[in-house]
Amino acid sequence: MKDLWFDPSQCLIDGQWIAPSGGQTLPLFDPSTGEEIGAIARGQAADIDAAVGAATKAWQGAWGRTPAAERGRILMALGRLVAEKVDVLARIEAADVGKPLKQARADAVALARYLEFYGGAADKLHGETIPYLDGYTVYTLREPHGVTGHIVPWNYPMQIIGRSVGAALAAGNACVLKPAEDACLTALAFADLARQVGLPDGALNVVPGLGAEAGAALTAHPGVHHLSFTGSVATGRMVQRAASENVVPVTLELGGKSPQIVFDDADLEAALPFLVNAGIQNCGQTCSASSRILVQRKVYEQVREAMASRYAGLRVGKAVDDLDVGPVISAKQKGLVEGFLDKGQGLEIAGQATLNDLPSDGYYVAPTLYAGVAQDHALAQDEIFGPVQVMIPFEDEAEAVAIANGTDYGLVAGVWTRDGARQMRMARSIRAGQVFLNNYGAGGGVELPFGGIGKSGHGREKGFEALYGFTTLKTVAAYHG
Ligand code: NAD
């Protein structure tokens, strides 16, 4: 790929580009065309071991001794460099993930913003003094865990690296990053840019490879002190099991089945773009996608018609054509989404985009809106991870809460109503890590703690809260009489 200035069939370990120990690669496909466009490293346990060794050395050495303010400066310089490279990073991501250029660009901008935020926070993270017995002075120290392992999925590589690696580095940890086998190019690009701004060798190491090989080796490695995992529930379980063997803390950012709830007093004009966009952005492959639209009966038909007309107008195309929706990530993902569409047979399709003149080997799926879906239907319960939304009618507030909370997940929710008291009641009643009132997503919100409950995971990333997760607290009690 012409935009790459590095060889993606190598790993970046201890500041050096090196071939994976087994000398093997994995093929790289452009989801927009299905064409093979290159090869990435197939890292193995030995590469993970080398990366953990390099990170240990950095944490105990140059990076560990770097003052917090200087760590912050390096991260902010990295943020500025990422901001200068937004266009090239967006082109790389569009080719790798298949997301339309505008959406890929937004991810690169968010990555720069995470680095600015966490760079600025690095020297503002501190402990406390605690009043105690006569003759004592007690204080707490916030210290890095040491070596942190980061396992990242393919849907938003740049944003997830920004929020997890950005926060971990700000707190003084040294990182080993295992990006997804389906999309690892911007992870490698990011680590190379970090090297260029002077991040000490070993503070950030990247080992691409398969989950069952490089990923499993990272989760099982006894030299890793904290694991941050973003991905599916099934893999999250394995990661948590592996973490329990070494008794290390783990942050799990998993899936979702997030609702937007539209009451009959809502500002529908304001709500409509959010109702559809939050379902089809990144072709629905978003953990916080709003895949369930709950609508009060009085306005149900009106909302159904308006959403249907938006669906009919959606333009699907190659990432470089920069339309509303691109392909899904892989042939496998296309098969998974089509499996859900099969389960939808017999349901009412309220709206659907048309697929015109697309490369025949690209991984395209028609964005589809189902109406009148029963709460216990698989399409209303399971995470689809494709451009598919279901509409579910409700009568009153109590029923809306019951439906909203009626899945295994609890990541985010949106509530559309002009009634202020109802807004407060809903915000308290909904089981989710984030609740948005009269908006959805709050524009990305680098500053806003994010994470789930239930099968959506545990722990929080983003915002200042993430820094607490990437540190451990030490209490020092001094008796001086
Ligand atoms: P996945 O679980 O298949 O893969 C995620 C990562 O885990 C990849 O890097 C993969 O290589 C690695 N992995 C796979 N098997 C492993 C193993 N045995 N040990 C260690 N690592 C392993 O998930 P995916 O299909 O890449 O991503 C989609 C899922 O991620 C969806 O469920 C989505 O909701 C979730 N997700 C959640 C968030 C969030 O913040 N909550 C964000 C993005 C994606």
| CA distances in angstroms from 408 to 125, 266, 404, 452, listed in the order given | 35, 27, 10, 11
**pLDDT given for residue 22 in this prediction:** 96
16 and 84 together in one domain: yes
- Closest atom of ligand 1 relative to the 235 alpha carbon: 2
Strand order in the sheet with 136-144: 129-130, 136-144, 471-479
Please give the distance, rounded to the nearest whole angstrom, from the Cα atom of residue 444 to the centre of ligand 1.
20
312 and 243 together in one domain: no
Domain containing residue 423: CATH number: 3.40.309.10
Which residues line the pocket of ligand 1, CB cutoff 6 A?
A: 151-156, 178, 180-181, 211-212, 215-216, 219, 230-232, 235, 238-239, 253-256, 287, 383, 385, 411, 457
Rounded to 10 degrees, the C-alpha dihedral 397/456/338/328 comes to 110
160 and 267 together in one domain: no
Q: Which helix (H) or strand (E) holds 302?
A: helix 297-313
Contact 170, 199 (CB under 8 A): no
217 and 163 together in one domain: yes
133 and 217 together in one domain: yes
293 and 415 together in one domain: yes
**pLDDT given for residue 443 in this prediction:** 82
- Judge whether 264 lies within some domain: yes
Number of domains in the chain: 2
| CA distances in angstroms from 290 to 51, 157, 340, 414, listed in the order given | 37, 20, 16, 8
Which residue's CA is the nearest one to ligand 1's atom 14?
211
320 and 466 together in one domain: no
Domain containing residue 190: CATH number: 3.40.605.10
Q: What is the value of pTM for the model shown? A: 0.97
232 and 287 together in one domain: no
**pLDDT given for residue 2 in this prediction:** 87
**pLDDT given for residue 339 in this prediction:** 98
Range of the domain at 314: 258-446
Encoded tokens for 397: 């507030």
- Closest atom of ligand 1 relative to the 233 alpha carbon: 32
Distance CA 214, CA 207 (A): 7
- pLDDT tens for residues 415-441? 999 999 999 999 999 999 999 999 999
Which residue's CA is the nearest one to ligand 1's atom 39?
253
Contact 393, 372 (CB under 8 A): yes
**pLDDT given for residue 444 in this prediction:** 85
Instruction: For residue 165, report the phi and psi dihedrals to the nearest 5 degrees.
Output: -65, -40
- Catalytic site positions: 253, 287
Query: Ligand 1, from 96, 99, 150, 151: best to mutate by most atoms within 8 Å of Cβ?
Result: 151
Residues in the chain: 481
- What are the beta bridge partners of residue 220? none
Q: Which residues contact 424 (CB under 8 A, 6 or more apart)?
A: none
Distance CA 19, CA 10 (A): 4
Instruction: For residue 198, report the phi and psi dihedrals to the nearest 5 degrees.
Output: 100, 15
Coil, strand or helix at 352 = strand
- Judge whether 402 lies within some domain: yes
- Judge whether 1 lies within some domain: no
Distance CA 7, CA 333 (A): 26
Which residues in the chain land under pLDDT 70?
A: none
Which residue's CA is the nearest one to ligand 1's atom 10?
211
247 and 262 together in one domain: no
| CA distances in angstroms from 81 to 84, 112, 163, 194, 291, listed in the order given | 5, 8, 17, 9, 35
- pLDDT tens for residues 105-129? 999 999 999 999 999 999 999 999 9
- Closest atom of ligand 1 relative to the 231 alpha carbon: 30
Please give the distance, rounded to the nearest whole angstrom, from the Cα atom of residue 135 to the centre of ligand 1.
51
- Judge whether 6 lies within some domain: no
| CA torsion through residues 203, 201, 115, 324, sign | negative
